[in-house]
Structure 1
Amino acid sequence: MMDLMDLLKESYGKKIIVGGHRGHKSNIRENTISNFSQLEGKKIPYIEIDVQLTRDSCAVIYHDVDLSLQTELTGMIRDYTLGELKERFDICTLDEAAAWCKEKQIGIALEIKLQPYAMWDDRKPLVKALVEVIQKYDFHRMCYVFGKDYEMLNWIKREDSRINIGLIAPFVPKKPVALMNDMQAIIYLNFVDQLSRELVEQLHKEGFLVGGSVVNTEEALKIAVELGVDLIESDDPERILGLSEEWYAG
């Protein structure tokens, strides 16, 4: 089976690759293997997941910084040990998620979740945990790591130059190509409606990939197609993939 990096290379300039955002929206908790399993065999080549660090320095998959938004717990992931969290709700480690994805040959877009004020001391241990898992499963060509903390991304690249880096750009940089080169990144990421055709073409001209998310409607997909972005995530990836295949077939 083709790995994620080869798939992106083969599809470059031809069609959009559709991934699952935190897995996908369903009655099963997002960012869990139980949720990911519902996408097995659905032609979704990768899933976007969020990683944080527990109190006992275990990298786990969870999106929100505030646990009270989706659980009965208060505080943050870093306030609890892995065992305490697993006792209260379904949560998986990065290692467990990577092992499952490796077995199923599904790629990972791995977002570093960080609140600098509260999580500053977690940065280096989290980098260490990320690198160790990617190396353990030889997952370099099946994943990329991204986030807003560019220093952490630099640390990751220094630890293992084979790890692919994506940049979340919450604003349009003055020199986007220079920024990508400086960070040794391969994927430029932003919300699809924050991109322009000129920016995408500029990045493509220099060989970079462009990701636009999160795409949950036909209107947003149309924008992504018109912009020529390379990859998107969706909360409903099966439906968006079906729509994109119809458009390209037409």
Structure 2
Amino acid sequence: MLIVGHRGARALEPENTLRALRRGMACADLVEVDLRLTRDGIPVAIHDATVDRTTDGTGPVKGYTIEDLTRLDAGEGETIPTLREVLDLIQGQTGLVVEIKEPGTEAIIVSVIIDRLPERLFLVSSNPESVTMAKRLLPGVQAGLIYSGATDDPIGLARSVQADVILPRWDRVSREVVEQAHGAGLLVIPWTLNREEDIKEAARLGVDGFASDDPCAARQYLQGGTKKSATPAR
């Protein structure tokens, strides 16, 4: 079962930073980052549309040039990394899950990725059109549809946008969903699992992987050990 380091290892380090990614890479099969564009069109790893929550700055990400953005403190002296920096860090060491946060940015993101393809890559989004576009731009990539709300037919929707993976919020996962997805040839990778009981239940249900804020604790749970889960940071 694949372990995805959610925003690197956000329970332990400032999320979506190189420091968090290094921490996640110690135990995860893949690490995940969220991507948005700066004012000058550079893909950077940050979850929110503004920098307020995760840095010492204020205002929208798209209001900053890359030069100005990298002056912000993203925690523990870290800066907001560019996608290029993320790819250089993980090259040859682990896989990558890229969440496309903004529809219309897919071509720019793919143009950066294409020369530095990780050993395993998932391009995922909660926006169905972004999933379709990712698959069109990189036909060989594994594309995934994220969802959290009630969806009448997530399997059908995923297939209609050419997804290879569904990434449901954990409370949307059931044995029926897993079986239907597998029957349609889709992987199931829920988010975000941090408690030992949830991780063991996910294994029992037969999911293909899961995202965790503390990949090393998750690895230990899967191997039968017990470790106190860390409290999510920031």
**How high is the TM-score relative to the length of structure 1?**
0.81
State the match for 1:177 in structure 2: 155
Q: Does 1:82 align with 2:93?
A: no
Q: Cα offset for 1:156? A: 2.1
**How high is the TM-score relative to the length of structure 2?**
0.86
Q: Cα offset for 1:235? A: 0.9
Query: Deviation string for 1:49-94 (max 9, x for gaps)?
Result: 1000000100000112232112232211111011001112211101
Q: Is the 8 A contact 1:18 1:241 kept in 2?
A: yes
Percent identity among equivalent residues? Answer: 31
Mapped partners of 2:43, 2:197: distance in 1: 36
Q: Is the 8 A contact 1:167 1:188 kept in 2?
A: yes
RMSD: 1.9
**Given the superposition, is the C-alpha separation of residues 67 and 150 from structure 1 closer, same or farther in structure 2, using an over 3 Å criterion?**
same
SS in 2 for 1:158: helix
Q: Does 1:128 align with 2:116?
A: no
Q: Does 1:162 align with 2:140?
A: yes
Aligned to 1:24, which of 3, 6, 9?
A: 9
SS in 2 for 1:67: coil
Query: Deviation string for 1:180-215 (max 9, x for gaps)?
Result: 222111111111121111111111122210011101
Aligned to 2:52, which of 55, 64, 68?
A: 68
Q: Which residues in structure 2 correspond to 1:229-248 (within 5 Å)?
A: 229-246=207-224
Mapped partners of 1:154, 1:82: distance in 2: 28
Task: For 1:218, give the aligned amino acid.
Answer: E
Mapped partners of 1:70, 1:171: distance in 2: 25
SS in 2 for 1:130: helix
SS in 2 for 1:168: strand
Query: Deviation string for 1:13-68 (max 9, x for gaps)?
Result: xxx2212111113664221112222344x332111110000001000001122321
Aligned pairs, number: 220
Aligned to 2:86, which of 84, 97, 100?
A: 97
Unaligned segments of structure 1, at least 5 residues:
1-15, 115-122
Task: For 2:206, give the aligned amino acid.
Answer: G
Higher helix share: 1
State the match for 2:40 in structure 1: 56
Task: For 1:149, give the aligned amino acid.
Answer: N
Unaligned segments of structure 2, at least 5 residues:
74-78, 226-234
State the match for 1:108 in structure 2: 96
**Given the superposition, is the C-alpha separation of residues 181 and 73 from structure 1 closer, same or farther in structure 2, using an over 3 Å criterion?**
same
Q: Is the 8 A contact 1:98 1:133 kept in 2?
A: no
Task: For 1:138, give the aligned amino acid.
Answer: L
